[in-house]
Structure 1
Amino acid sequence: MAQIVIADVDVYDPGIGGTRTLRFATQSYTTGPTDTPANTFYDGRIQQPANISRTCFSDAKTTGRTQIGYGDMVLVNNDGALDSLLAYSFAGRAITIKLGVVAPNSNRVPTWVTVIKGTMEQAELSWQKVTIRVRDRQQDVAKPLQQVRYAGSNTLLGGVLNGLEGVANDLKGKPKPQVFGRVFNVAPPQVNTDRRIYQVHAGSALSALLAAYDRGAPLTAGAVYSSQADMEANAPTAGQYRVWNDATAGCSVRLGSAPTGTVTVDAVQGAAVTNRTVGQLYSQILQAAGISPSDINSADITALDAAAPYEAGVYAPYDQDITALELLDTLCASVGAWYGCDASGVFRIGQIAVPSGAAVGTITATDILKIERVSSRDPGVGIPAWKMKIGYQRIYSVQNDLTAAVIDARKAYLAEEYRRVESSDASVKTANLTSPELEFLTVLASASDAAAEADRRLAIYKVRRDMYQLTIRVDAPLAAALDIGKIVTLQVARFGMSAGKNFLVIGIRTNMRGYQFDLTLWG
């Protein structure tokens, strides 16, 4: 089979004051009248296609931080014909790379597979080549989530500060906080020191501010405010707090007395538990980071909600520039989920689970160029675990300096960042004398949900799981179907797989020169 790689590269051209699309291929090529785009020339300058690598997690792991994939596309420029690209801006612009295969008896009409739809860093031009680093779209969320900052513009009127923006020497330039789901004991910024006003959440109304505390002691809720002016004009009575919750300004709370220590709150964003699952919060965070809902796979979220309908919550504080990527890592780890972008640039999410259901294809010995069984780098290095511990109900402000009014049970609660549940099977130690105990920290809200997750993970990790890394040559249909999170059947005459065994694809790297895929399989 003959093959060709083409690339559509969007750049900003200052000469026209807008974007244009540059088109390159591994050999000069003109599309047909039914192609998109039709009857269009692609300059045969691709020396090295961008071999994209994407994994659910880091190498040989089924837990941890989801990895971003990228590769370099190299264009030939010996003749200097591409020197003009130096004036163009590539950074953050879109690139689409497709692999075309011309099968026998196809009248030389390629079958196209989109290998990557991503973005780019700025191109590097040398004397003989142009190098373009291609980025997975996941990189789009590796930036500070909250772009709205405190202005530090509170004004002094009648000897008292007015406004909710802080002043130059406390909050100016710091990100405004955001709540996703249900969070416990977060410490909001004091946005008006004279009026003892704290902002819990910016940009939209909270579903509820559940409680407020001063140095660990609960305060009494007063009547809600009707407006910012109402809040600034009318103080609560001593020992109380009152809330102003606004659809655009967010949620703020004013205290009736000067606090004796750290002020914290419990808060909820999302009208019902079904709005506060990991799947729903994943979508909300992506959208807060600027990702269009149409670029988020809704079927994945529905499937994850069914598998893990648990209430969760994460908090973007005011005192650090936390990225959407960091929040997503924390959130998805709570239910053993991976996330990333597929070849078409759509954000996907799925749960690491024992492979079940229909496979997208079968890989046999005739497809395999190289195969190796590899050792797990998960906690416990792949030895079946007999006990699973899950941390849940994270508190964001651990406190030990508390008022005398705080009861002992709450003192113990505030001294630990997480509560914990366990699930165990002592019989695992019969065959595995060094069977480990594994622990995972989550942002799940309830003990019952954490217990269910502990049971689920124990069922996965108390049994030996296998991992393989292999290089295969595939046809166009299988190439189009392969992606992280997909299930494939591996059928080889080794390790009891003569009849075939299903595996989850947890890593994939494309080699478009040889129409090869490097896969990491787990199951």
Structure 2
Amino acid sequence: MSSDWMYLAEIDAWNPATPGVETLRFGSTGYVTTPSETPANAYYEPRIKQPALYRFDAGVGKNTSRGGYGELVLANPDRGLDGYVNYGFDGRALRLLAGPVGSAYSALTVLLRGTCLGVTWERSTVSIRIRDRQEELNKPLQTTKYGGTNSLPAGIDGVADDLKGRVKPLLYGTVLNVAPPCVNTSRLIYQLHDAALQAVTAVYDNGVALTAGATYADQATMEATAPSAGGYRVWLAGGMVRLGSSPAGPITADASEGSSAALRYPGSLLNRIALKAGLTAGEISSADVSALDTACPYECGVFLGDETATATALDTVLAAGYGFWYFDAAGILRCNALTAPTGAPVLTLEEYGILELDRTASGSGDNGLPVKVLNLKYARNGSVQTSVAGAVTAARREWLKLEYRTVTVTDSAVATKHLLAPTLDWETPIVSAANAATELTRLQGLICVRRDTLRVTTRIPDALAATIGTVVRVKVPRLGYDAGRDFRVIGIEQDAIRDRITLTLWG
């Protein structure tokens, strides 16, 4: 570590003796906050040996945002930390701050706000494994389950032999032909969403559309009043439908939540999913949500009928903009559609400040080349059906056989220049053909052209402004960068013990 640069770590841990959470404080050098600072008069014991080898990959083009991870190593030759061996660290918060030696606490930069995964006690060191806040979202979004408490013919909670212990479905945006569970087999009641719906536009029995009746005002009316034979009625507040006749085959439905099309855009869906996962409104970047909806004004939909992780649900939503999500150093959930690097760069890296520079790809394909053929998939069929009732039209039969509709573009210039240019199949939650065509054109301009991916290493103090999604300019007399080329930051590796940071840049 540089002698003119210091690191502070703040680690929450459960003290079983108190019992309660304590904040443990350590530094790469001894440090004490002033009486007027918050925290006041806090002492940071000089034990940091390795201030977190840390790596984050936005997962651009992989439809998987990959949380950051790393390790903080504390010196323990005197066994002074052994008193914490019974403390609980896993799942607790950790912050890493940095700045010039002697800086005021308020002037320090937060490099990382993460979660402790566990602690390894070694001969003369203590190693703390770290993940960023994405770790908190690698657990099921839906935790509410059916109790199996129906006393048939009454109830909407299933019975012990069918739904007990199964999670209730969640529906965000607009979905097509999804299969809801039957929550009352006597009264033929099915649940599409564990909350209110905006509309149920169609219900199908083995592919045949049923006739819609008037909506129900409440659960009691729904249970007491059956629809007409061959029809269905909806209780929107409960996210349920009731059939008027025993089904001949699988029951599926088209449905929407969100009171307007704009509330079914990807940013708005991400916001509601994150709130459902337990984040507060203040922990979600409202500016990013609005920017995502502006960049990708597409009606989308996600149906979750099992114990899907929140992270997976967010990945599905962000596929609408070839995008990614992450938590920033302040612990705020951020989201971005991938866009070309435009606007003023937050920093310019020139040859004198670059320690290493490697161009690892010249395109966004999985082999590092521009994409030749782009197949964008949309209008997901939630229940693929190959055997349906005879009354189903030929066109509908063909629709039901496929999971997605597809729009395609072939870039002849790329195909001519790059004989090994790949094909990309990109699955999205976009609903309409018009929106899919718009996104196809947008993506063609992003990934069917030369897009360099660089790994650039510099000193941490020289690159603190470079965070995920920001624009960085590289200006060196090679690779055509003489006048400078702009890139978007899509990955960060911090090696604080060597005061180095490696940026993965795309542009």
Aligned counterparts, 1:138-217, within 5 A = 138-155=134-151, 160-202=152-194, 204-217=195-208
Matched residue, 1:406: 392
Matched residue, 1:71: 70
Separation (CA, whole Å) in 1 of partners of 2:327 and 2:137: 11
Contact 2:474–2:487, Cα closer than 8 Å, also in 1: yes
Matched residue, 1:291: 279
Report the AA paired with residue 200 of structure 1.
L
Aligned match for 2:214, one of 198, 223, 226: 223
Aligned counterparts, 1:445-464, within 5 A = 445-464=431-450
Q: Does 1:492 align with 2:476?
A: yes
| Secondary structure at 1:374 match in 2 | strand
Offset of 1:100 from its aligned partner? 2.0
Aligned counterparts, 1:386-405, within 5 A = 386-405=372-391
Report the AA paired with residue 316 of structure 1.
L
Aligned counterparts, 1:504-515, within 5 A = 504-515=488-499
Separation (CA, whole Å) in 1 of partners of 2:370 and 2:353: 31
Separation (CA, whole Å) in 2 of partners of 1:378 and 1:465: 6
Aligned match for 2:252, one of 240, 247, 264: 264
Separation (CA, whole Å) in 2 of partners of 1:323 and 1:132: 25
| Secondary structure at 1:229 match in 2 | helix
Offset of 1:15 from its aligned partner? 2.0
Separation (CA, whole Å) in 2 of partners of 1:473 and 1:47: 18
| Secondary structure at 1:64 match in 2 | coil
Offset of 1:275 from its aligned partner? 0.3
| Secondary structure at 1:43 match in 2 | strand
RMSD between aligned alpha carbons?
1.8
Offset of 1:434 from its aligned partner? 4.2
Separation (CA, whole Å) in 1 of partners of 2:502 and 2:370: 27
Separation (CA, whole Å) in 2 of partners of 1:45 and 1:255: 67
Contact 2:363–2:369, Cα closer than 8 Å, also in 1: no
Separation (CA, whole Å) in 1 of partners of 2:11 and 2:411: 54
Separation (CA, whole Å) in 2 of partners of 1:95 and 1:279: 28
What is the TM-score of this pair, normalised by structure 2?
0.95
Q: Does 1:310 align with 2:309?
A: no
Offset of 1:495 from its aligned partner? 1.0
Contact 1:62–1:352, Cα closer than 8 Å, also in 2: no
Deviations 1:159-189 (A, max 9, x none): x432111111211111100101000011000
Separation (CA, whole Å) in 2 of partners of 1:486 and 1:311: 27
| Secondary structure at 2:154 match in 1 | strand
Specify whether residues 380 and 77 from structure 1 end up closer, same or farther in structure 2 by C-alpha distance, changes over 3 A only. Answer: closer
Offset of 1:308 from its aligned partner? 0.7
Q: Does 1:119 align with 2:119?
A: no
Report the AA paired with residue 490 of structure 1.
V
Aligned counterparts, 1:15-26, within 5 A = 15-26=17-28
Structure 2 spans left out of the alignment, 5+ residues:
none
Specify whether residues 109 and 226 from structure 1 end up closer, same or farther in structure 2 by C-alpha distance, changes over 3 A only. Answer: closer
How high is the sequence identity, in percent, across the aligned residues? 41
Matched residue, 1:278: 266
Separation (CA, whole Å) in 2 of partners of 1:388 and 1:486: 26
Report the AA paired with residue 364 of structure 1.
E
Aligned match for 1:28, one of 22, 27, 30: 30
Offset of 1:430 from its aligned partner? 3.5
Separation (CA, whole Å) in 1 of partners of 2:41 and 2:414: 64
Offset of 1:388 from its aligned partner? 2.2
Offset of 1:133 from its aligned partner? 1.3
Matched residue, 1:5: 7
Contact 2:176–2:380, Cα closer than 8 Å, also in 1: yes
Offset of 1:245 from its aligned partner? 2.2
Between 284-293 and 26-35, report the one with greater CA deviation.
Answer: 26-35
Contact 1:63–1:378, Cα closer than 8 Å, also in 2: no
Offset of 1:383 from its aligned partner? 2.9
Report the AA paired with residue 48 of structure 2.
I
Between 33-42 and 425-434, report the one with greater CA deviation.
Answer: 425-434
Offset of 1:344 from its aligned partner? 1.4
Separation (CA, whole Å) in 2 of partners of 1:128 and 1:351: 45
